[in-house]
Amino acid sequence: MNSNNNEKLLVSSCLAGFSCRYNGKGKPNKEIIELVKSGRGIPICAEQLAGLSIPRAPAEIVGGDGADALNGEAKVLSKDGEDYTARMVTGAEKALAICKLYNIKKAYLKSKSPSCGVNHIYDGTFSDKIIKGDGVLSALLKKNGIDIIEVE
Ligand code: SF4
């Protein structure tokens, strides 16, 4: 993670150590925390921006990936069947607005999340199977020309 300039970067809040995951925990990553401390990393949780509670039931994209959800061709469902799709799209749009405000061109996002997931997401069966595809936020940011780096 190059930190030699002042370019602002979007980072997943949970990677910055905030307790915003579905299970009420964070997923702290030392390098991401340093980016935030330096003032370059802007921590965002699209699911918090979506108004989802903490904790919340875990969710997966059913019937496609984040790009499909943005097009209305797939749904983001919680494990107990609640439809999160509209809220997740709204949360992603709010995160994109923040990127525009800070002129952000690059994001470091947590792997496999139905929002932040980059190139790999769960398959919608809640059985730990991974498929190719982006989460809703990643898909929207990519569509808007923002580079996404997957962080495990
Ligand atoms: S939406 Fe992104 S930032 Fe929020 S908990 Fe999920 S992976 Fe972390």
- Determine whether the shortest distance from the Cβ of 16 to ligand 1 is under 6 A: no
pLDDT digits (tens, 9 = 90+) for 114-149: 999 999 999 999 999 999 999 999 999 999 999 999
- Going residue by residue through the chain, which has 152 residues, state the pLDDT in tens, using 9 for 90 and above: 654 578 999 999 999 999 999 999 999 999 999 999 999 999 999 999 999 999 999 999 999 999 999 999 999 999 999 999 999 999 999 999 999 999 999 999 999 999 999 999 999 999 999 999 999 999 999 999 999 999 98
Q: Which residue, by CA, sits nearest to atom 5 of ligand 1?
A: 21
- Determine whether the shortest distance from the Cβ of 8 to ligand 1 is under 6 A: no
- How many H helices and E strands in the chain? 5, 8
Q: Which residue, by CA, sits nearest to atom 2 of ligand 1?
A: 116
- Position 4 scores a pLDDT of 52
DSSP assignment of 63-100 = SS-HHHHHTTSSEEEETTS-B-HHHHHHHHHHHHHHHH
Q: Where are the domains of the chain?
A: 9-151
Query: Left (φ > 0), alpha (ψ -120 to 50) or beta: where does 48 sit?
Result: alpha
- Position 147 scores a pLDDT of 98
Q: How far is the CA of 18 from the centre of ligand 1 (A)?
A: 9
Cα dihedral sign for 36, 39, 41, 46?
positive
Q: Which atom of ligand 1 is nearest to the CA of 113?
A: 7
Q: Are 46 and 90 in contact (CB under 8 A)?
A: no
- Position 102 scores a pLDDT of 95
- Determine whether the shortest distance from the Cβ of 13 to ligand 1 is under 6 A: yes
Q: How far is the CA of 6 from the centre of ligand 1 (A)?
A: 24
The amino acid sitting at 76 is: V
- Position 5 scores a pLDDT of 74
